[in-house]
Structure 1
Amino acid sequence: MTVLTKGVGLFPTESVETMRSYVQLSESLGYDSVWFGDSQNIWRESSLTMGAAAVGTERITFGTGVTNASTRHLSVLASFWATLNEYTGGRARLGIGTGDSSLRTMGLKPQKLAELEKSVADLRTLFAGGEVVEESSGASFHLGWMPEPQHVPIYIAASAPKILKLSGRIADGVVVLVGTAPEFIEAALKTIESGAKEAGKSLSDVHIVLWTPTAINDDSTEARDLVRAHVSRVAIRPLPAPIDPSLQAAVDRIKETYNYYEHMNTEATHADLVPDELVDLFALAGTPDECADRLREIKGLGVDQVSIVPFVRPGESKEPTIRAFSEIMDRI
């Protein structure tokens, strides 16, 4: 059976010092990874936050959940990640996607899958010390400062079938955002596996990170309320398995009202449109015992890591959730 590790996804909604304290706590509790959200118009700068948070750490890996190659030029992405990897002794994990709120808050469209695939290939070339061509100018460029090649694993964020398959084929790992219900996870893994086979790999060659909005509270209703905003974002994405038709009307209403400037905000207006049935499919939310039961179901599916995105009321610390998840994982 796969050893299930624990990760934490942190959106830079609080000061850099506070984010550093969450990372230090996570490392002390045995977390394997920390993933930082990258959306420059709604959160603090992810690259500065990660660099500061890495100071004094010894073991935990650092990734983005996730960045993109549109707001971040490839040269900037490659230079930052090679630098962070060098500084941390190989603990960098570049999480990338087609672009979401970082682009949509400016009226821009995400990358196409072919563009994402080329970006991943170019990043690997740059990390290896090679040259790539800048598309708009036609000039070649490389990381001239880099004394030696850097191996930076590349993870792709995926939920829809086409990008799940692409991820299995070209990525070192996949940040899977499909909910916590076994039927969605199993469908996603099958799709990733089909892509991996096209590249002569198996599913075991791809590191699977299940990314899930999380709230752990003795009051189940409060826990569900806290994650509704993030659940709304998961539910409106294309998914690897069909959703129950009885829930489709709720999903359609969320799509019509989703506001990217309230992306992942617990107080978002579209959160009120999310019924409990969707929360139970797409989040880890409830009492410690309820969350433990769901994690036991996930543990046998082939996921390598569950990475929680802790949700609390504005002004409250995420520390209790980080501790509670660690305690649950240690006993399942």
Structure 2
Amino acid sequence: MNPSLGLLLYSDGPLSELVNLARQSETLGYEYLWYTDVRFARECYVGLSAVAANTTKLKMGPGVTDPYSRHPAITAAAMATLDELSNGRAVLGLGSGGAGFRELGLERTLPIAAMRETVNMFKGLLRGETVTSQGKVVSLDGGKLSFKPVRDHIPVYFATHGPQMTKLAGEIADGVLIANTLQPAAFNFYVGKLMEGLAKAGRAPETLDIGLRVEACIDEDDEKAFTVMSRRVASRLLSQYPHWDYLDELGVTLPEEFVAMAQDRSLHDTAKAAKLLPPEVVESMVLAGNPKRVAEQLARALHPRVTQLTLRPHAVPGGTMASVVAAFAEQVYPSALQMRAAAEAA
């Protein structure tokens, strides 16, 4: 089976653009829409409600929320409400978070325990249970939803590229979105961790939706597209320092000058940092270029176990997100599938 298509949109654009892109993506055959839940950006659940009211088939959810800035009981109530509004189309994306935590005085403590406790609490509340749980991170004393959810199970997806979190996803999640991993060997590593988690829980492999989340800038001007994405990679790497363990699995070694810039926040300059990144580093994580070039990159990265392919689009200056969303669905995705099929048959 071919992977289903998903779209991840960042909550920095106007809600009118979100609604337009949601309608467009549904028409183009996208099955999922994920909307970022970021502190100090547009409110995630307001945006998702607008998507629910303007679409009929798209599954939708936060991409992703976390156990720290929103208590899992509040998330359960919000998701059950979204599920009611969308007639059973809600999906929950969970991650360990980080953005805005410093400003809010939050700490990301014991993330594995926090995610496990969140999922257990979330599932119990949806089933209509009165939940009392004293966890290492998250607690609840006699909590119960005051209304009956449309469904007693809403799928839970983990977004991660951490080995232990990936293993936990195989154990307790319905799906996983592995981000920016375009090296087949690296994706094999994560699949191995998922299999460990599935085996621990006694689950069959087909019960887990395994997603690959890719970031792409698609434009006929290869240089412009590459510049956009190299800056995106540089920005993400600078913000993630020193949590770069996943780079080992990608086989990526960063230039010493880039590492020195990351170590001193006063030196952070995205444009300069981007110029320090070799092209092969950028292309190990993101897609950039004209549709044919991007399709070739994607075909090499499409692991046989991928069951969902999620796009986070980026536009060149003067370009539009809508054009990237359309090019990915109409040109890149089908071409990549054909290339992969031809390679498998050879």
TM-score (structure 2 length as normaliser): 0.85
Aligned pair count? 325
Distance 2:293 2:257 in 1: 24
2:204 matched to which residue of 1?
202
Which sits farther off after the overlay, 126-135 or 304-313? 126-135
Within a 5 Å distance, the mapping from 1:1-332 to structure 2 comes to: 2-41=1-40, 43-106=41-104, 108-112=106-110, 113-133=112-132, 139-146=141-148, 149-232=151-234, 233=236, 237-239=244-246, 241-244=248-251, 246-247=253-254, 249=256, 252-253=259-260, 255-256=262-263, 271-313=274-316, 316-327=319-330, 328-331=332-335, 332=337
For 1:75 and 1:96, the matched residues in 2 are separated by: 14
Cα separation, partners in 2 of 1:138 and 1:85, compared to 1, 3 Å: closer
Indicate if the aligned counterparts of 1:63 and 1:92 stay in contact, CA closer than 8 A.
Answer: yes
Is the 1:4–1:299 Cα contact (8 Å) retained in structure 2? no
Please say which of residues 141-150 and 196-205 is displaced more in the overlay. 141-150
| Higher RCO (C-alpha under 8 Å, 6+ residues apart) | 1
> What's the offset of the Cα at 1:267?
6.6
**Structure 2 vs 1, CA of residues 92 and 231 (structure 1 numbering), >3 Å: closer, same or farther?**
same
Cα shift readout 1:243-294 (whole Å, capped 9, x = no counterpart) = 44643636634642579xx9xxx97775455432221100122221121112
- Residue type of the alignment partner of 1:145: F
% identical equivalent positions:
27
Q: State the SS of the aligned residue for 2:45.
A: helix
Q: Can you give the 5+ residue segments of structure 1 that lack an aligned partner in the other structure? A: none
CA contact (8 A) 2:183 2:250 kept: no
Name the CA shift for 1:254/1:306 in 2 (closer, same or farther; >3 Å): farther
| TM-score normalised to structure 1 length | 0.88
Using the TM superposition, give the Cα deviation of residue 161 of structure 1 relative to its aligned residue in structure 2, in angstroms. Answer: 0.7
Secondary structure of 1:34 counterpart: strand
Give 1:73 shift: 1.6
Greater Rg by CA: 2
Q: Which amino acid aligns with 1:56?
A: N
Change (3 A) 1:207 1:14: same
| Cα separation, 1, equivalents of 2:34 and 2:149 | 27
**Pairwise CA distance, 1:28:** 0.5
- Is residue 178–residue 185 contact of structure 1 (8 Å, CA) maintained in 2? no
**How far, CA to CA, are the matches of 2:178 and 2:163 in structure 1?**
11
Note the C-alpha offset of 1:14.
Answer: 1.1
Name whichever of 208-217 and 298-307 sits farther off: 298-307
Between 20-29 and 216-225, report the one with greater CA deviation: 216-225
Please provide the CA RMSD for this pair.
2.7
Q: Distance in 2 between matches of 1:244 and 1:83?
A: 43
Cα 1:245–1:39 shift into 2, 3 Å? closer
Please give the alpha-carbon distance, in whole angstroms, between the structure 2 residues aligned to 1:303 and 1:137: 35
Report the residue type matching 1:323 in the other structure: A
Matched-pair contact (CA < 8 Å) for 2:73–2:121: no
Structure 1 residue 314 displacement after superposition: 6.1
Q: Secondary structure at the match of 2:147?
A: coil
Is the alpha carbon distance of 1:148 and 1:319 closer, same or farther for their aligned partners in structure 2, counting shifts above 3 Å? closer
Closer, same or farther in 2 for the Cα pair 1:249/1:130, shift >3 Å?
farther
Deviation at 1:110, TM superposition (A): 1.9
CA–CA distance in structure 2, aligned partners of residues 33 and 152 of structure 1: 14
* SS in structure 2 of the partner of residue 49 of structure 1: helix
Q: Closer, same or farther in 2 for the Cα pair 1:62/1:290, shift >3 Å?
A: same
- Structure 2 gaps of 5+ residues are 338-346
Structure 1 segments (4+ residues) deviating >6 Å: 266-269
